[in-house]
Amino acid sequence: MLFCKDFKKKSLMIKKGWIFFIFFLFSFFYGVGCPAQNTAYKIDVSGMGWEEKSLFSSVQGIVNKNGPFIFLRFDDIDDKWQQYYSSRYGFQFISLSDPYQVLTIFRDKIKGYVLWDYGNLESYNIAATLSGIHDWIVVSKYFEKKIKTLGIPLKEDVSQKFIGMSKDQVYDWAFENYWDQCNKKFVTSLALGDIKWISVDITPYVNGTDFYVRFEDAIKTNGNGTKLRSLKIIQGGKEVVNLRTGTEEEKTYLYDPDHSWFDPDGDRIADLTQYFTYRFQLSDSGQIILKFLAFNQYMVKVGNTPNGPFTTVSFSSKVTGSTIGGSRELDMAIFYRTFCFDLSSRKYDYPEEYAIKDKIMEAMEHPGFVLGWVSFQTGRDDEGSYVAQASLHGNAVICCGAPNFSFHHWVKPERFTPPSLSETPAIDENKIYVSFLISDGDAFHWTNGFQGRQYLSPDRGSIPFGWELQPLLYDMAPAVLQYYYETATDNDDLVASASGIGYCHPEKFPADRLDEYLQETRRYLELTGLKSISILSANNIPFDVVLKYRKYFKDLTVGCEEGYGGRTPGVFPFTDFSIIRTRVPMIGESDPEMILQELNALAQSTTQRPLFVPVHPTCYYTGFEGVKWITDHLDPEVFQVVKPSQLMTMVSRYYQGKLLIDAPKRLIPVLVNGALFLPFKFRAIVETPISVKINLTAPVGVKVTNYQQQAQAYQEKMTHGEFRITLNEPVLSSEILKDARLTLSSALVQDSLSIPMVVLDYQAPDNWYCEYTGNWDAIELNHRYGQQVEDGSAVHGTAWFTQKNAPEAPAHSVFGPYESMAAGEYVACFRLKVGELTSSEVALLDVFNLNADKTTLCQKYIQGTDFNAKDRYQFFYLPFKHDGKGTIETRVFTTGAEDLWIDEVIILRQKEREHIEGPTQGFVGDTLSFSVRAFSIDSDSVSVRFDWGDGDSSKWSDFQASGYLFTQTHAWADTGRFSVRFKTRNTSLNESEWSAPTVVTISATPVNIEANVSIPQDFALSQNYPNPFNPVTHIRFALPQVGRVVLNVYNIFGEKVKTLVDEVKTPGEYQVIWDGRNELNESVASGIYFYQLIFENKKLVKKMILIR
């Protein structure tokens, strides 16, 4: 019923009450043993600084490996869980007047301490890793003196160990030394800030021995003022002052405490016009060095009187982060004995860190789980990259900045009682059905926090509403899961999130690891009884992934809801399972009024009924109360709100036997060699394949009256076809062509769809394609200037408008994408309209890179006379190159000279040419490796097949995301010249033409003196090929004479990985293959390796890169 610990084995289960009482008192005062079953010590850490909280979290993580013995109180949320455990499970909590008593009580569990330093933040993660391995508590230098008085021994000092090393060097070293001792199923990303010691020579500004140091906010308008943690004064090379903010010692130096405030996390803070001043009186003269630990925007001044004048000696306008991860989830990291790190997942900005994190991700047991979260405050990482990197290795992430999970783990209900599914209402074919599923329930801190306290609303249960839950709670916090089961009302829908067990992008998984992940997810769904799933893919979920979800879950769940909105709407309705994409454009920061407007606009813009609209509001902006307000204001004659699981069931029922067209609200076909390619998809819920007739009624301005095409679907319960229409004689126009009409018909049913189209009059070469189509509706934007107005000639009927001589002009509007983009050549296409054709400048267009240097990549001034006509939209083009570092935004700076409408910005990207990379020559019997990066025009998943030119060909590869680098190997049995080529296909099984061939010459065995071939003149070592490589690479070398030759592979630490050659050879040219394995035949991790050739006391070395 309760925690899994057999106390009888340790003779601690004393049944007699009086004996237990004596034992309890003895253990309380003398630190012997553990408390009785259902008894725990409660420690209030709410008033402690971050470092002290971390200390007690480490104590908790170590002690709770043996049972639920310590419970920490960070805030009132923990009070609610304490009350729940007391009332539901009979727990008694003992509060300690002195929290350090707990170190004496559990002294036998604590084996020592590991020392770290705030001025060397990476030492914190290393200390956390060692704590989990060895049961050493995590102690900062500031609290070391206190711990020593308790007689706890120092086991390792890492406080100064990594000074001068980069992050990737620190964690690569830690991986090599600690990984084998850590849990392979879990790792922890304890995201750290970028605080560091600042040193300033203030000798020139100090007259005498009495002076003042003042801290102010550097930018007095944005509320990101200075935060000071520690300060030192070094005089003549000797430390004479070492103060810590918030301590009694600080009070002796703080001159004016009333103009600043102290944060319990441990910082003295001055925001806006606030400031604080310290007075120092030194007894001697000499060089004076001021050292301080500060973050956020700060300005440091020195003066010789309390009121100045002051001289600025240090300044920073950068908003930096303090440590934002660690203290709350540290107990979990230690409890699970995890490897802890802080590495960026932004491959183009921090490639060395990305490579080390890749090595960690690949070394895990799959599916593995990354605890912790991304480092937002430092700007070094972002959620999309963080989740994507884990997904690429078949792992998932668990956002878990919540305390007490080492306690939650142990408390188990007698049985789980998941709520049953509600009856699904009958479908009214005149209604729009809406469901709401609030985000972030996959995150442990959100679940632990009662869904951001929204689950505690007294109105909960008054409307149908979906709450996300992480299925892994079954093992990691079972009583928390049961709490939601026991308290859910009939209107509360509990949905598994996100994508399954852990948050991931399933379409990025390797195919075999996606199967492993979904098999494990199925096991947890069987255990938890959850009947629906939310999926958070990075892009629209591809059809092959849809089929896998159906394969594993069709008999357990009613379906899945995918996305946050703003993507192409669509449904995948099977008879036994449905996946529905969320509707209403990306609602990120949208408030309830904006969402209501979107729903009403959707109702007015389409006559399709019934309509099924799943909405996935972002929890931080539109919560339960906001959704209740929306529900109360929806027209009941038009809308009906249902639970997410009900909506999924209704979709499956309604679409049986119907033909579906998958087409976006609008098409933006790019002109390619005088023709337009228009991609569409259709699907039908039938049991057998069908033939479908396609008819396109030509839009205005296109010289094609009709187009018909036959398409053959294939059978997979749901038939699924894809086709492209080619318009060979288009009349170029930048107007919206609103009367294009597509009709699909079959023996079963006929359906049609009107598709507004925008044809770009940009003459793009044949290797350009539409990468991104941003607009205000679809992209979450940080800046919105001007006024949003209705405009029938805009793509979605609304545009952003800046009026002539408007008081807010000049102003700028920012269109995304606010995300990392691969290096390459691009064209930004701005769609604008002007009120008058004036010679005045009306706007400045630019493309801006939010990298460290904040670089403007290109810009263009436009005048009214640059437009062909007034009151008519026109595209303006800005070509630019991007190095792949930083994130891109496109901006329009309006001058106010004329009325200006901004409709949208489109990014065109130069497509990588698909070509085969690999050797052009080899030897009979050698296994050669060839790679190709394959793309799909519509960004669907893609599969590759190679033809080796010898009558043999490879099998079709597993489907991977468009842009994936495919690698295949082949060995030829005969000599000759062979043409290697490839073709691709998408998930609809439509195949491309064969590529242009790459000719490979295969010779007999490596030439040498016995083969009567010319002898090499020099000792030589060639660069391996391919490089980078996966899974094999070829190394060539030449020998001018007979002798012993050794060829070794080393890692970056100089450790030998494998000997490839060690023998006497005759003169000649040789080739050796390395398959990325060590002497034990184990696959080595991704990274940089060196291969060294030794011959007659001569050495040659080259570098190669292995990418898994």
SS3 content of the chain, % helix, strand, coil (to 5): 20, 35, 45
**pLDDT tens for residues 788-808?**
677 777 766 677 788 787 665
The reply to whether 788 and 751 lie within a common domain is: no
Q: Which amino acid does the sequence have at 234?
A: I
Find the mean pLDDT for residues 149-174: 93
pLDDT at 977 over 80: yes
Query: Computed over its alpha carbons, how large is the radius of gyration of the chain?
Result: 33
Rounded distance between C-alpha atoms, residue 495 and residue 559, angstroms: 10
Pairing between strand 1056-1065 and 1068-1074?
unpaired
CA distances from 971 to 205, 955, 1036 (A): 75, 15, 17
Confidence of residue 338 (pLDDT cuts 50, 70, 90): very high
Q: Is the pLDDT of residue 350 over 60?
A: yes
Residue 186, token pair as written in the block: 């879990």
pLDDT at 127 over 60: yes
pLDDT grade for 943, boundaries at 50, 70 and 90: confident
pLDDT confidence of residue 637: 95
Task: Confirm whether 800 is domain-assigned.
Answer: yes
The verdict on residue 952 lying in a domain is no
23 and 120: one domain?
yes
Taking the C-alpha atoms of residue 119 and residue 851, their distance in angstroms, rounded to an integer, is 26
Backbone φ and ψ for 541, nearest 5 degrees, come out as: -65, 125
Q: State residue 702's pLDDT score.
A: 45
- 262 and 387 housed in the same domain: no
pLDDT of residue 725: 58
Contact present, 580 and 598 (Cβ < 8 Å): no
The pTM assigned to this predicted structure is: 0.67
Q: What's the pLDDT band for 33 if we cut at 50, 70, 90? A: very low
pLDDT score at 295: 76
CATH code of residue 1099: 2.60.40.1930
What's the farthest any 2 CA atoms get from each other in the chain? 99
pLDDT band, very low/low/confident/very high, at 726 (cuts 50, 70, 90): low
CATH number at residue 466: 3.20.20.490
pLDDT confidence of residue 715: 42
Top-ranked range on mean pLDDT: pick from 398-407, 710-719, 738-747, 832-841: 398-407
The verdict on residue 925 lying in a domain is no
Question: Which is higher by pLDDT, 874 or 852?
Answer: 874
Number of independent structural domains in the chain: 6
181 with 205, same domain: the answer is: no
Do 238 and 279 sit in the same domain of this protein?
Answer: yes
Neighbours of 763 (CB within 10 A): 12
- Higher pLDDT: 671 or 1065? It is 1065
**What CATH code is carried by the domain that includes residue 204?**
2.60.290
Confirm whether 448 is domain-assigned.
yes
Distance of alpha carbon 987 from alpha carbon 959, whole angstroms: 8
Q: Which residues contact 853 (CB under 8 A, 6 or more apart)?
A: none
Of the ranges 188-192, 380-384, 685-689, the best mean pLDDT one:
188-192
**Is residue 730 situated within a structural domain?**
yes
Using CA atoms, how far apart are residues 274 and 254, in angstroms rounded to an integer? 14
With 70 as the cut, is the pLDDT of residue 720 above it?
Answer: no
Is the residue at 950 inside a domain?
Answer: no
Residue 997 lies in a domain: no
Q: Is the pLDDT of residue 970 over 50?
A: yes
Residue 260 CA to residue 225 CA, distance in Å, equals 10
Antiparallel, parallel or unpaired: β 369-372 and 396-399: parallel
pLDDT, tens digit (0-9, with 9 covering 90-100), for 433-479: 999 999 899 999 999 999 999 999 999 999 999 999 999 999 999 99
Same-domain check for residues 307 and 402: no
401 and 271 in a common domain: no
Residues 499 and 638 in one domain: yes
% of the chain residues with pLDDT over 90: 34
pLDDT digits (tens, 9 = 90+) for 259-284: 888 876 678 888 888 899 999 998 77
Q: Which of 884, 904, 924 is the last residue of a domain?
A: 904
* pLDDT attached to residue 679: 57
The answer to whether residues 123 and 81 belong to one domain is yes
**Statement to judge: residues 176 and 245 lie in one domain:** no
Highest mean pLDDT, choosing among 667-681, 886-900, 909-923:
886-900
Q: What is the pLDDT of residues 292-309, one digit of tens each?
A: 988 778 889 999 998 889
The answer to whether 761 touches 730, Cβ cutoff 8 Å, is no
Q: In the prediction, which pLDDT does 895 show?
A: 81
Can you give the pLDDT at residue 578? 83
Predicted confidence at residue 151, as pLDDT, reads 95
Residue 779 has what pLDDT? 31
- Phi, psi dihedral angles at 465 (to 5 degrees): -155, 140
Residues sharing a CB contact under 8 Å with residue 650, sequence separation 6 or more, in sequence order: 424, 425, 427, 433, 610, 612, 642
- Percent share of the chain, pLDDT over 70: 76
When the pLDDT of each residue in the chain is averaged and rounded to a whole number, the result is 80
Residue 918 located in a structural domain: no
Q: Phi and psi at residue 530, in whole multiples of 5°?
A: -70, 140
Please compute the mean of the pLDDT values over residues 161-185 and round it to a whole number: 94
Q: Measure the CA angle with vertex 524, ends 519 and 529; round to 5°.
A: 125
Task: Choose the weakest-confidence range: 317-321, 323-327, 647-651, 764-768.
Answer: 764-768
Give the pLDDT of residue 703: 43
Q: Please report, for the domain that includes residue 829, its CATH number.
A: 2.60.120.260
Q: What pLDDT is stored for residue 163 in this prediction?
A: 84
Are residues 400 and 387 both part of a single domain? yes
Q: Look up the domain containing 748 and give its range.
A: 659-689+699-758
DSSP 940-989: --EEEEEE-SSS-BPPPPPPB-TT-EEEEEEE-SS-EEEEEEEEEEETT-
d(CA 616, CA 566): 10
d(CA 757, CA 740): 7
**pLDDT at residue 988 in the model:** 61
Q: Looking at the structure, do residues 609 and 482 belong to the same domain, yes or no?
A: yes
User: What is the pLDDT, as a whole number, of residue 461?
Assistant: 96
- Give residue-wise pLDDT tens across range 602-616: 888 777 789 899 998
Q: Is the model's pLDDT at 824 over the cut of 80?
A: no
Which residues make beta-bridge pairs with 114? 138, 156
pLDDT higher than threshold 60 for residue 15:
no
